[in-house]
Amino acid sequence: MTPSLTALVLSFLGLILVGLPIAWAMIASVLVWVTVTGNWYFLPIASERIYQGMDSFVLMAVPLFILAGEMVNAGKITDRLLNFANAIFGWMRGGLAQVNVGASILFSGITGVALGDIASLGRVFIPSMISQGYTPAYAAAVTASSSIIGPMVPPSLIAVIYGSMSDVSIGALMAATLVPGLLIGVVQMGLVAVQARIYDFPRVEMDRSPRAIGHATGHALVPLMIPVIILTGMLGGIMTPTEAGGIAAAYALIVSVVLYRSIRVSALADVFSRSALFSGQLLIIVGCGAAFSWAMGMENVPRLVGATVENWGLGYFGTMLVFNLILLVLGMVIDPTTVIILFGPLLSSAAAHAGIDPLHFGAVAILNLNVGLLTPPLGVCLFAAEKIAGCGLWPLLRSTAPFLLVTLCMLVLVAAFPEISLWLPRVLGF
Amino acid sequence: MTRMARIIIDFVDKGLRAISALCLVVLSTLVVFQVISRYGWGSVPLFTEETARYAMIWMALLAAAIGVRDAAHIRIDFVPSILGAVSPVALRALNVALDVISLAVFLTLLWFGIDSMIFAAGQTSDGMQIPLSYPYSVLPISFFFASVFAVLRIVALDART
């Protein structure tokens, strides 16, 4: 490593570690790098990169998906989904825990953010699970573990950002993560079923007549159309991901303002404002990340990494293993979006040298990084669930461990068998 | 002086929030309009995609400036939270140090943002036929406000955390 590259990497790591916001740490380390190289004319280029990094039509899907999700949350559409999840999953032993996982799958199809899932579902499920006799730690563990299904099921923000960073199609990527995401849901439900037998969890008492179930389904149908619109619009080649996001937001607006009247027009300004602020926080990292990546490009990092991987000669499985370990460690300390922005294209092109399909690698990387949301020291989903349950971090970690284990097994399977992720996109003709 | 300053700051804060939300309204409307016009009358005006992109960049950069005031930017708060449990004074010192580093970043980007803007003035946009310095002006504008908010945090005039 040249001295300037060392300065770039070390100052970035040091600054994010002491708590400087990630976007500013990227720029600050680029400033350090420029100082070390002495090439002051790099500075205006770096500032222009921030602008150009955000200047993309594809990236516009980010604020639009966030807007659609905020609209659904503000429109209190959550209740309808919960009743529906109760109707289809509640009959099992450990019913409420099963409903929690099931609702995460349904809900994730609408917001696509793991943390958003905990904020809205956790506040409903954790207290009601505790009142039914589950321990607070278990309630929090199920909520946190199932929330990571969110970014796997379309619409997923992380897939949009990954797709806009590399030349993988966003639609194909969303199709590639869908099957692994659903499988994780199934496996987690299987785990809950086993635990329910051992610990004798209660079932959910509710009216289960065909009429009641039909009623619950009918009520959920309108919000469940959102993922359907996005998927068919995008995968059917009718719309770009950005346009699908726009149509989904417009649909959510019409449903909650006109049809259900659950958002007053005066509250609408607040929905737009919150979405704009949240989008800004993600997009500024994309912009600043473009400046950082440009600096890494000037230092020939992509070529270096590619050459190193080729020198190792690890082959398909070896490379997959090493890259997954790298991503797991990165995902433990940095949030998934930032890892994708910084290392996604880099690792993807290096993986291609070892014969790994970029689409397959994208799906594996997204799954892998979401596992990091469940591990300390930076398991944001764990912390969020702990805050609601108030159970302490250690008991929560113990209860999460089995879920983490089965999710990791799924990661190994998805990484080892490309067919799991590539089957659906191939069928759809990507 | 402080009361007057507070009124001005709150006004600027509300204004920035409103403009950034308005940009989101514009960009979502334009994207929906683009789909409708493509399937409705088979063609899309050139300006829609371009205007929507500019609206997104304005929204994102202004939101980033507001995020400085709200301390809402994504960061790893592992070390600060441990430090806060050990010594609140040390945490306060670390926070001031981080705000000073941020301010240095913002002032640099403000300076070179003006540079980029002047450079872009020579080019014209494809869709709306406006000088590119117009959309680029958001770089210095938002980093100016980000600097102001960072200074307010450092002098602790602004009590938000």
Q: Does A281 touch chain B (CB under 8 A)?
A: yes
pLDDT of residue B68: 94
A87 vs B: CB within 8 A:
no
Site from A113, A251, A254, A272 to mutate, B interface, most B CB atoms within 10 angstroms: A272
Average pLDDT over every residue of B101-122:
93
Scanning every residue of chain B, which has its alpha carbon at the shortest distance from the alpha carbon of A247? B32
pLDDT at residue A197 in the model: 87
| Interchain CB contact of A380 with B (< 8 Å) | no
Q: How far, rounded to the nearest angstrom, does the alpha carbon of residue A281 sit from its chain's CA centroid?
A: 15
Token digits for A328? 């797991």
Instruction: Quote the CA–CA distance of A107 and A173 in Å, as a whole number.
Output: 19
Nearest CA-CA distance, residue A353 and chain B, Å: 33
Of B75, B78, B139, which is closest to A377 when you measure between CB atoms? Answer: B78
Contact assignment for B25 to A47 by CB distance below 8 Å: no
DSSP state of B124: B
* Smallest Cα distance from A368 to chain B, Å: 19
Rounded to the nearest angstrom, the minimum Cα separation between B139 and chain A is 8
Mean pLDDT for B15-30 is: 96
Asked if B35 lies within 8 A of A333 by C-beta distance, the reply is: no
Mean pLDDT is lowest, of A79-93, A264-278, B72-86, B106-120, for A79-93
Helices (H), A236-372: 241-253, 265-298, 301-312, 315-333, 336-353, 358-371
> In tens digits, what is the pLDDT along chain A, a chain of 430 residues?
788 999 999 999 999 989 999 999 999 999 999 999 988 888 888 889 999 999 988 899 889 988 988 888 787 777 777 778 888 787 778 888 888 888 888 776 555 555 666 766 777 788 888 888 888 899 989 988 988 888 888 778 888 889 888 888 888 998 899 999 999 999 999 999 999 888 888 777 777 778 888 888 887 887 778 878 887 888 777 888 889 889 989 998 998 888 888 888 888 999 999 999 989 988 999 999 999 999 999 998 888 888 888 888 788 888 899 999 999 988 887 878 888 988 888 888 888 888 889 999 999 999 999 888 888 777 778 888 888 888 888 888 899 999 999 999 999 999 999 999 999 989 887 7
Instruction: Please state the three-class secondary structure of A322-339 as a single string.
Output: HHHHHHHHHHHHCCHHHH
Of A46, A249, A378, the CB nearest to B78: A378
pLDDT value at B24 more than 90: yes
Chain A nearest-CA distance from B1, in A, is 30
Q: With CB atoms and an 8 Å threshold, state whether A284 touches B23.
A: no
pLDDT at B161: 44
B112 chain-A contacts, CB cut-off 8 A: 43-44, 46-47
In this model, does residue B158 exceed pLDDT 60?
no
How many Å lie between the alpha carbon of A229 and the closest alpha carbon of chain B?
13
**What is the DSSP-derived secondary structure letter of residue B131?**
B
The minimum CA-CA distance between B97 and chain A, rounded to whole Å, is 9
Judge whether residue B157 has pLDDT over 70: no
Cα A397 to Cα A138: distance, rounded to the nearest angstrom: 10
Residue type, B161: T
Best residue in A30, A47, A67, A271 for a mutation probing chain B (most B CBs within 10 Å):
A47
The winner for highest mean pLDDT among A309-323, A335-349, B37-51, B106-120 is: B106-120
Q: For residue A204, give the DSSP letter.
A: P
Of A51, A250, A283, the CB nearest to B116: A51
A51 near B CB under 8 A: yes
> Does A57 contact B75 at a Cβ distance shorter than 8 Å?
no
User: Does pLDDT of B160 surpass 60?
Assistant: no
Q: What pLDDT was estimated at residue A109?
A: 57
Share of residues in chain B with pLDDT > 70 (%): 96
Q: Which residues contact B35 (CB under 8 A, 6 or more apart)?
A: A239, A243, A246, A247
**Cβ-Cβ contacts under 8 Å, B63 against chain A:** 276-277, 279-281, 283-284
- In chain A, the largest separation of any two C-alpha atoms, in whole Å, equals 75
Alpha-carbon gap: B7 to the closest alpha carbon of chain A (Å) = 21
B56 contacts A31? CB cut-off 8 A: no
Q: CA of A279: which chain B residue's CA is closest?
A: B60
A131 touches chain B (CB under 8 A): no
> What residues of B are in contact with residue A48 (Cβ under 8 Å)?
116, 119
For position A388, what pLDDT does the model report?
82
Q: What is the pLDDT of residue B64?
A: 96
**In Å, how far is B128's CA from the nearest CA of chain A?**
16
Which ranges in A75-122 belong to alpha helices (H)?
78-89, 95-111, 114-117
Among the listed residues A300, A357, A102, A52, the one whose alpha carbon sits nearest the alpha carbon of residue B60: A52
The pLDDT of residue A115 is 63
Asked if B61 lies within 8 A of A280 by C-beta distance, the reply is yes
Q: Residue A3 to residues A8, A10, A146, A298, A406: CA-CA distances in angstroms?
A: 9, 10, 44, 13, 43
Whether A53 and chain B come into contact, CB under 8 Å, resolves to: no
Predicted local confidence at residue B47, as pLDDT = 87
> Does residue A374 sit at the B interface (CB-CB below 8 Å)?
no
Among all chains, which residue has been given the structure tokens 């039909």?
A214
User: pTM, whole model, 2 decimals?
Assistant: 0.88
Both tokens of A415, joined, read 């990484």
Q: Is A63 on the interface with B (CB under 8 A)?
A: yes
ipTM above 0.90, yes or no: yes
Residues paired with residue B131 on neighbouring β-strands, in sequence order: B124
